[in-house]
Structure 1
């Protein structure tokens, strides 16, 4: 008889054991004009980003009163996760820490340790494999744990939830958002609209080495995972509308030295290209972002929308997943899935598309850093 995934008994209370806390780990953002420059100094520390570029990015924040929406969106996601856990009967406290702004990760881990938690799961607000979206967060965790060790605190064991780019609770809200954005176009151009799936551009060298070593190659896991998610959404939109629409994965939010190759095409260049090719409209779908933070509001809603206006090209933008209850439920499912695995069972692992569920534990050589550093929640270079 084939090995079947373990399914909890009907009506059984959800059990996260051996885990006793969940940490939402995010990027952070300024919450007022006085925060902008210190925040950008945190973000770019050690990267050699030209000051001119920092000033340019800073102006993006000042256009919105010096406030990034990401912290408010993380608070909304925390509320949604806690409400879902409570409604499902899952007793698991949820904490929040950031890489670059308050509440800082080290402070939150100190709070977690002082509360006596010893097995902590981490949900990063990045759905895909990459250095900045996974490995760097693992390095941040290792750095913070080292601080706590120096302070003489008992260290919790940290495990990171798998990449959720293809979990139904992440993908299905984006399918719905894409259909809503299509409906917002004038009826005369709707059926001919192109779909531009957007994500953060990263250096091609970082993309090529993203994910486990066997997947390294053209774009690595970063590009492959985005393409797989985009294909699932495009197929679902076609099934719902009966219209086959051309689509492409494009990029935004490039930063850094201009001589270093980054993933292309940029969304604005793409809009010019499809307009020249006769496309009557474009729907922008930011599949690379969990929430509508600054790079979505500025690079798409401001900069790309302005480019489309210059071209006379109708565009709409699909909403990100944000605090959608389906995503909050997906977080619970990922927590319980990992808990079952830790208890030696084989849980059901939800995934759409062709790639299947991602790995639970990052293997050696996964999304390597340019300069090797200790990283928690993986098989190599543990603190």
Structure 2
């Protein structure tokens, strides 16, 4: 075997007892206050994580493995590997296994569709550090992939239609993506988040906020035939960090309050920065934002996550086969060695 596909994901702990170690991976070794660790343990416990690993992996791991299996079946003749940046199976370990399996060329797809220095850039750096003489083709972003947009629209349409029917008017749609620290998107203001000392400063803006909103706009456009208009949808960044400096907004909390102040009595949320269920969906939206919406007098609906969406699988298969390389120009190649 010479060629293989590698799906890259964030990673998540398998048990509450692993939380402190996991968070140290996320922060690059920076210790977090104990109250932050305990708060995150509480959130993970609310979505089913136990003190010890359970019989089933946590949602992010479960769905990422399922997405990799579905992609391998769709490709037919290409092995698909899964690696995580912040937990096992770690990128370095998986690349070592790929090398042992005879892989000489990797097509890497980060399961964060919108390109960001705080996510995609760090995945790429970890992969290149481990690749040695393996050739790597790295997909730097697929925010506008038509199949990805179609997959989100398929999940949103039935929920939005049902919510609108219940409200008797077009329900507002609030698209979201994970927030990032302000310093990571400012031109020339900071080095790449998590980079080692001495990493060159960035002289161009981070594309992440623009790409996240572009995904949302394309999904909304897909529902225009159903009656969704440009004035019916909004965008906010969710899950701002619980420690550190300012993070980009607007926040979901402020946006929900503004929607209620404008007279709305319901809202449909769809996170377009995530391709599967995990704590930012199952806790932040389904529990925390739902509680806030209830307190404000808003009924909150959420579109299902993509998870095992066949349309998502087709999107990943197209990218893996490079069918859209010429059209999107989003694939970059690098030979390491």
Shift of 1:240: 1.9
Q: Secondary structure at the match of 1:196?
A: strand
Residue equivalent to 2:60: 70
Residue 113 of structure 2 aligns with which residue?
127
Report whether the alignment pairs 1:319 with 2:319: no
Residue equivalent to 1:164: 142
Name the counterpart of 1:206.
184
Q: 1:282–1:316: 8 Å Cα contact kept in structure 2? A: yes
For residues 134-192 of structure 1, give each alpha carbon's deviation from its aligned partner in whole angstroms, at most 9, with x where no partner exists.
110012113334xxx6xxxxx31122124111111111011121112213426241523
1:264 alignment counterpart: 249
Q: CA RMSD in A?
A: 2.6
Deviation, 1:208, is 3.4
Q: Quick one: which of 124, 148, 167 aligns to 1:138?
A: 124
| Equivalent in the alignment of 1:280 | 265
1:107 Cα shift? 1.3
Q: Separation in 2 of the partners of 1:327 and 1:215?
A: 33
TM-score after normalising by structure 1: 0.76
Matches within 5 A, 1:1-383: 20-66=3-49, 68-86=58-76, 91-145=77-131, 155-185=133-163, 187-189=165-167, 191-209=169-187, 216-217=204-205, 220-241=206-227, 245-258=231-244, 260-337=245-322, 347=326, 349=327, 357-361=328-332
CA distance in 2, matches of 1:264, 1:162: 23
Q: Is the CA contact 2:120–2:140 (under 8 Å) kept in the aligned structure 1?
A: no
Give the distance between the partners of 1:144 and 1:286, measured in 2 at CA: 31
Structure with the higher fraction of residues in strand conformation: 2
Contact 1:169 1:327 in 2 (8 A): yes
Question: How many correspondences in the alignment?
Answer: 318
TM-score (norm. length: structure 2): 0.86
Does the 8 A contact of 1:238 with 1:245 survive in 2?
Answer: no
Task: Answer yes or no: is the 8 Å Cα contact 1:42–1:100 preserved in 2.
Answer: yes
Contact persistence 1:120–1:156 (CA under 8 A): yes
User: Cα distance 1:311–1:358, how it changes in 2: closer, same or farther (>3 A)?
Assistant: farther
Give the C-alpha shift of residue 193 in structure 1: 1.6
Measured in 2, the distance between the counterparts of 1:315 and 1:256 equals 24
For residue 185 of structure 2, give the secondary structure of its aligned residue in structure 1.
helix
